[in-house]
Structures are given as C-alpha cells and as structure tokens.
Amino acid sequence: MKCRVCKGPAVVDVRRHNAAFCRDHFLHHCEEQARRAIDSHDMFTAGERVLVAVSGGKDSLALWEILVRLGYDADGLYLGLGIGNYSDESGKYARAYAGRLGRHLVEVDLTAEYGYGIPEAAEATHRSPCGSCGLSKRHLFNAAAIEYGYDVVATGHNLDDEAAVLLGNVLRWDAGYLGRQYPVLPATPGFARKVKPLVRLGERETAAYCVLRGIDYQVEECPMAAGNRHLGYKETLNALEDRSPGTKAAFLFGFLERGHERFAVDAEVERDELAECSVCGSPTPGGVCAFCRLRAKVGAIELGPGGAPTSEPVAFVAKPRHESR
C-alpha cells in the first residue's frame, strides 16, 4: 500500500476514495477536506469567532485541532451531561486538550446549572436518553454562542453521522428535518449560525487523524446511547458501504446536491412560525420550548397553568462556572 501523493509507505487507506496515504499526506488530506467543506459552504471566515462543541471524543477534538491549524479563531465549549464516570472522563479529555492547544474552553454543567443530568431526564420522560441529550445540547450550544458573542457554533458531525441522520430522516420523509439538514444553517433571530466542517470525513478518518496527531480522546461510546436508533442506522449504512464502497458519501452528497433544496421551503415555513419561549425567550414553535418543558419534567423549574412560568423568567443562559485556558 503506497501513499497516493508521495508513493512512500502508506499508513491509512480510504476505500471510498480508492486511495491510501502516508502519515503526513493523510493529515493534509483531512485538513484539506475540512477546508473544502468550510469554503464551499461559506461556513465562516478568518476573522469570525468560532465556538467548537467539544465532547472529548475523536470528532470534536479533531475538529478543534484542524480549525486552529487552518488559522481560525476557535474556542471550545464543554457541556457536562451528568453521565457518571463517562462524563467525568470526557471532561478531562476536553480540558487536557484545551490546555495543550492553549485555547479557551467554556464549560457548562447541566446538573449544577440546570438541575438535571441526562439519566434523570431519561427517567422523567420515560423516553430514550438520546432525545433529551440532543435537545439539551442544541439549546445550550446555541445559548452559549449567543451569550458569549461567538459568530458560529461548529460541531464535529462527520460523514457517518450525517449519513445516519439522513437515513433516519428519509425513512420517515420528515420534510422539515430534511430541509434543516445541511452543513451550514445561517443565523436567524435567536439562533446562532451552525456549521459541520467534518462532513467530508468518515469517522474512521477522524479517529486515525487523532491517533496520528497524538490527540488523546475519549474512546468509549456513551453508555446511554447503546442500542439507539442512530447507531442502528450507522450499522445499516456500514453494511451497505462494505458491499459497495462510496455508498455513504454518494447518499449524503447526492442529497446535498439534488435533494436538500427541494425540502428547504418546509424548514423555512417552520422557522417563520417560531415565537419566543414564555420561560427562557428562545425560539420555539409555541408556548414553552422543549428545553424548559424538559426542565419542568425533571422538577428543575415549575410551570404555572398554561405553561406560564411561576416565577421571574430565568436567565436565557446561566453563567458558566468554569473557564480554563
């Protein structure tokens, strides 16, 4: 196996590109794929402030590293989810990496600042923990970006993630979700811009990137996610990819080129109908937003009749307790 670029010994192969790379050219390949995604989708420019949602896993740490290497002004945001040891360990990886990179890490702790962790949310809602986790993250990533004046929130969603989400959306033909699934979502009132610079890299590539750059990351999968639907869709796509390399990329990029635009209007209609949450003020289809309803369910806040808050509205986002450099 020889490097496609220099013909030296290769250390990683990328089947869907029918290519292999030596260490240096693989690292360049990954950074180049991120650069292409950022430029082709006008995700952000050199002067803008980027907040990277950092879980401590391979994707988010690779993203942070790549953005800093590409010369962007990128800080991190770590959200403590209250998932026992898993969260404790994840936080350590995020903090250690922030120190190594010499960049700010904003920290928000769900339990200390919002009165619940993901296990409590799952118990209170009698539903998959992943649902509560996703909505908490979306709310707090956005709130932190607005609160601290970042231009854009960047997440480490890779090709495998996005293809699996797309499969779920397309199996239900959820027009609103299909209309919102895009590597860049522009800022709208109450929402910061959101971008996914790693959509052109598979998760095998982000893992290899971290290993070859010597980045220590949380290798464990979240214990609460085991057996969830998203992982099932990933397995499904992996089986299709094994039979026919390139299937995932053709699926995702075919959608971005020939599918997405046809659903964009559905997302616009939904966005136009948003109003302010009567508790926290963030945009919501009506009444109390999903985040505040979740907080009420776990007993962290009380809602009056008709969803009105029983006390003064809480701050849009609580001040983070910890900041490390």
Q: Judged by CB under 8 A, does residue 272 bind a second copy?
A: no
Which residue in the set 255, 278, 284, 297 belongs to the binding site for a second copy (CB under 8 A)?
A: 255
Which residue in the set 46, 47, 189, 243 belongs to the binding site for a second copy (CB under 8 A)?
A: 243
Closer residue to a second copy (CB): 22 or 199:
199
Using CB under 8 A as the binding criterion, the count of chain residues that bind a second copy stands at 23
Closer residue to a second copy (CB): 174 or 268:
174
- Report how far apart, in Å, the C-alpha atoms of 296 and of each of 108, 132, 310 are: 19, 13, 11
Site string for a second copy, 190-229 (x = CB under 8 A): ---------------------------------------x
Alpha-helical regions (H) of the chain: 23-40, 58-69, 84-101, 110-114, 118-125, 129-147, 159-172, 175-180, 203-213, 229-243, 247-254, 264-272, 290-297
Token pair recorded at residue 68: 């800093």
What residues form DSSP beta bridges with 147?
A: none
Which residue in the set 96, 170, 231, 314 belongs to the binding site for a second copy (CB under 8 A)?
A: 170
Which residue in the set 259, 281, 283, 307 belongs to the binding site for a second copy (CB under 8 A)?
A: 259
Nearest Cα to Cα of residue 165 among 261, 226, 233 = 233
Closer residue to a second copy (CB): 127 or 325:
127
Q: How many CA atoms lie within 13 A of 171 on its CB side?
A: 12
Which residue in the set 18, 40, 188, 244 belongs to the binding site for a second copy (CB under 8 A)?
A: 244
* Smallest gap from residue 234 Cβ to a second copy (A): 12
Residue pointed to by tokens 């959101």: 194
Q: Binding segment for a second copy among 130-138, 213-221, 255-263, 300-308 (CB under 8 A)?
A: 255-263
Cα–Cα dist 76/98, whole Å: 7
DSSP track, 189-232: TTB-EEE-TTTTS-HHHHHHHHHHHT-----SPPTTTTT-HHHH
Which residue in the set 6, 250, 269, 275 belongs to the binding site for a second copy (CB under 8 A)?
A: 250
Closer residue to a second copy (CB): 86 or 177:
177
Closer residue to a second copy (CB): 244 or 310:
244
Nearest Cα to Cα of residue 159 among 78, 238, 229 = 238
Phi, psi of 253, deg, nearest 5: -75, -30
Site string for a second copy, 39-68 (x = CB under 8 A): ------------------------------
DSSP track, 14-27: EGGGTEEE-HHHHH
Q: Judged by CB under 8 A, does residue 130 bind a second copy?
A: no
Closer residue to a second copy (CB): 64 or 263:
263
Which residue in the set 84, 186, 254, 313 belongs to the binding site for a second copy (CB under 8 A)?
A: 254
* Cβ burial, residue 16 (10 Å; 0-12/13-18/19+): middle
Cα–Cα dist 275/287, whole Å: 8
Q: Binding segment for a second copy among 48-56, 102-110, 113-121, 250-258 (CB under 8 A)?
A: 250-258
Which residue in the set 251, 277, 279, 295 belongs to the binding site for a second copy (CB under 8 A)?
A: 251
Q: Judged by CB under 8 A, does residue 182 bind a second copy?
A: no
Q: Judged by CB under 8 A, does residue 269 bind a second copy?
A: no
